[in-house]
Structures are given as C-alpha cells and as structure tokens.
Amino acid sequence: MAYRFLIIGAGFSGSVLANKLINGLDCSIEIWDERNHIGGNCHTERDAETGIMVHQYGPHIFNTDKKEIWDYVNSFVEFRPYVHRVKAMSGDRVYPLPVNLSTINQFFNRTFTPAEAREQLENVADKSITDPQNFEEQALRFIGKDLYKAFFYGYTKKQWGCEPTELPASILKRIPVRFNYDDNYHNNLYTGIPVEGYTAVMQKMIDHPAIKVSLGKKFIPGESSDHFDHVFYTGPIDAYFNYRHGRLGYRTVTFEQHSAEGDYQGLAQMNYCDEEVPYTRIVEHKYFTPWEQHDKTIYVKEFSKETTEDDIPYYPKRLSADKQMLQSYREAATSLKGVSFLGRLATYRYMDMHHVIGEAMDFVGRYITALKENTSIPVFPNEEQF
C-alpha cells in the first residue's frame, strides 16, 4: 500500500523529510507552505537588478562537524568553501569578532602574548561574582566591565529587547573569547555556501514526480488533512493548537535593504555594539559568493524587535514562562494521533541548518522502523542527539 503524507513547511526540515520519506517508503507526498516560495527562512534569491544572491531572511552559513550531513547536502548541489569573518563597530573603532587576541590587543592598546592576555582578563574580571545569576553577571565574572560594555551590553540589549540582567546566565554558557588570532567565526570541520543558494538545495531534495508542492497554502489544523496517513508539521507548535496556552516568546528581525555602487563595508557582516545605533548588524550579501564579481552591492540593516502576530518568529526567547508553556503544548501534541512535530518552530528551539537536517534524517529512520515493527510512531525528534 502506498502511503500518503502531508508535510507542512518547505524549509530544510520539510524538504529533508520529503526527500528521505520518498526514498525510504512507497509513498506520495504533498508539501504545503503558506509562503510563495520554498526554502523557509533559508530562502535565497538573486536580486533582479544586481544579480547578487540575497539571503532573504538573514545571512546563512552552512557549518557542521558531521560528515554524513555534509555529504548529504553536497549530494544535491555544489557547495564552495567559505570562511565567515565578522567585525564589530564599538565606539568609533572596528574590532575583529569573536573577541580574540587581536581584539584584546587593540582594545587595551597592547601586544599581549596569549598567556598575558589571559592574565589581563583575569585581572579585570569581577571576582566578587562567584555564582552568576544572569547574563550580565556571567559576562562580568569572566571579562570585566570594559570589554563587556564594549562588545556585549548594547548588542545584547538590542538583540533581546531587555536589560542583560533580565536574561538567564545560561544564554552565555561560554564567553566567546579566544586567546589566539583565530577570527574564523565558525570552528566546525565543514563550512560552506551552496553556489546557487539554499533554495536550489531544497528544490533538488524535493524534485520527484510523487512529491507535489503547493505554495501560498496555509495549513489549518483539523481541516483538510483527513485523507493523509500522516502529517509532518514544521510550523510553530503554539499556532497548531491555536495558541490555547498562549504565545511562545520570540524575537523577530526586520530588514532594511539598500543598494549602492562598489563596496559598502568591505566584508559580509559588521555588528554594531553600541546601544545608540538602532540596528544590530549590517550584512553585505555579495561577500557570501566571493567567487562572483559584482560592480554593485546590496547591504541590509537588521533591526531586532519583539514578535507580534503579523511577524515571522525568529529567535525563541525560551524564558521560564515559555518553557512551561512549551511543556503544555508538547503534552497536547503527544496525545494526538497521526501528527509529528519537527524543526525549529515545532520544537521551539534555536537550531542551525545542520541541526534541523540531522534531526529530520534521523526522524525518518525512526518513523520507518516504527511502521515496520508496528511500534508507536514518534511524535518529536530525538532532541538529545543533536
């Protein structure tokens, strides 16, 4: 018997689910997405005027330590190596990020060795804080007031819309400081960018005669999904239950796109650490394809704000009230039959692309095993694994 599946969402979660299901089972699949394009938040599109590939919902760099995931995405399209280097504007000066030996030397106007830089930070750290209770205390404890104010305070306040003292210390699990000159933003084994953008990767994943994609089609739970054997839902979990326990907290981003002749800022990403500057960062998209030549440029200012009903949810806040609410939704989800919840929105976690891809790959394996062995169908991914 051929199974009939419905997948909600044509982002990486939905696309990998479709690709793995179609290759693992005798089935037909419908994918619905309420947007007018596939790709979810990783959608890329060439700007009609300049030909520059624009990451429409913010910059995306693919990075993973897992060879299986890297080989999988590379089996669809060509990825080229890409090293992400970020600078920070603090006051009227530009520093390398993450904070590294070069940043520390520039900041203190010294030429420390790694050991001396470590000692310097120990000297300026606030040792009176023994058990940090919030983000600010966590930062002060390790890097002291001046570095914290210069690189973390204003940026964090803009990003999360509150005082860093209101944020849990766990957000800053490890202070991103390096005592060498390494300014590569990612330290994963595999880092790259697909030559023709991310939407092309997903297009290849779902290119199959038994997969039908419907765009501009919103899924309303309880309506029109009866004739499918199973629904894989990658939208927001609170929306699935019509917000019956309330709305999970997210920050969102608004984008202000500009074009100009030549270069605008000389690199892909400049963070703005000062509270007075209203945007958090400026992203210049042609730097994501260093193998292309463009006379013009496109740069995008990003503004962070609270998510309202009409906004796209971006960064889950995961405050303790959110986590309690999430628990109620998870319980409601587990009591349903014939629906599974995957991806960043349905599990309410910040997840990189390789996380959602890895979880979807793993999930289809578990789903097929459950079908074959007639055991209970998994509702959520195995979140411990990634």
Active-site annotation holds for 251: yes
Residue closer to ligand FAD, measured from CB, 11 or 132: 11
Residue closer to ligand FAD, measured from CB, 11 or 96: 11
The contact set with ligand FAD (CB under 6 A) reads 8-14, 32-35, 40-42, 58-62, 218-219, 234-235, 253, 314, 343-345, 351-354, 356
Instruction: Name the active-site residue from 136, 238, 284, 352.
Output: 352
Cα–Cα distance measured from residue 205 to residue 75, given in angstroms and rounded to the nearest whole number: 10
The closest residue (CB) to ligand FAD is 40
Residue closer to ligand FAD, measured from CB, 58 or 114: 58
Residue closer to ligand FAD, measured from CB, 41 or 90: 41
Instruction: Name the active-site residue from 35, 118, 247, 251.
Output: 251
Query: Cα-atom radius of gyration of the chain, to the nearest Å?
Result: 22
Instruction: Name the active-site residue from 284, 302, 322, 359.
Output: 302
Active-site annotation holds for 352: yes
Min. distance of Cβ 206 from ligand FAD in angstroms? 12
Q: What is residue 2's DSSP assignment?
A: -
Min. distance of Cβ 341 from ligand FAD in angstroms? 11
Burial-class residue 165 by CB neighbours within 10 Å (0-12, 13-18, 19+). exposed
Instruction: Name the active-site residue from 82, 95, 178, 183.
Output: 178
The strand pair at 53-55 and 44-46 is best described as: antiparallel
Min. distance of Cβ 96 from ligand FAD in angstroms? 18
Give yes or no for a contact between 378 and 363, defined as CB atoms under 8 angstroms apart: yes
Min. distance of Cβ 154 from ligand FAD in angstroms? 19
Instruction: Name the active-site residue from 49, 92, 174, 261.
Output: 174
Min. distance of Cβ 33 from ligand FAD in angstroms? 4
* Phi-psi domain of 6 (left: phi exceeds 0; alpha: psi -120 through 50; beta: other): beta
Active-site annotation holds for 281: yes
Active-site annotation holds for 166: no
Exposure on the CB side of residue 68, measured as CA atoms within 13 A: 7
Residue 94: closest CA among 39, 149, 150: 150
Active-site annotation holds for 35: no
Beta bridge partners of 319: none
Residue closer to ligand FAD, measured from CB, 122 or 256: 256
Q: Transcribe 86-154 into DSSP letters.
A: EEEEETTEEEEESB-HHHHHHHHTS---HHHHHHHHHHHS-TT-SS--SHHHHHHHHHHHHHIIIIIIH
Q: What is residue 171's DSSP assignment?
A: G
Residues catalogued as catalytic: 174, 178, 251, 281, 302, 350, 352
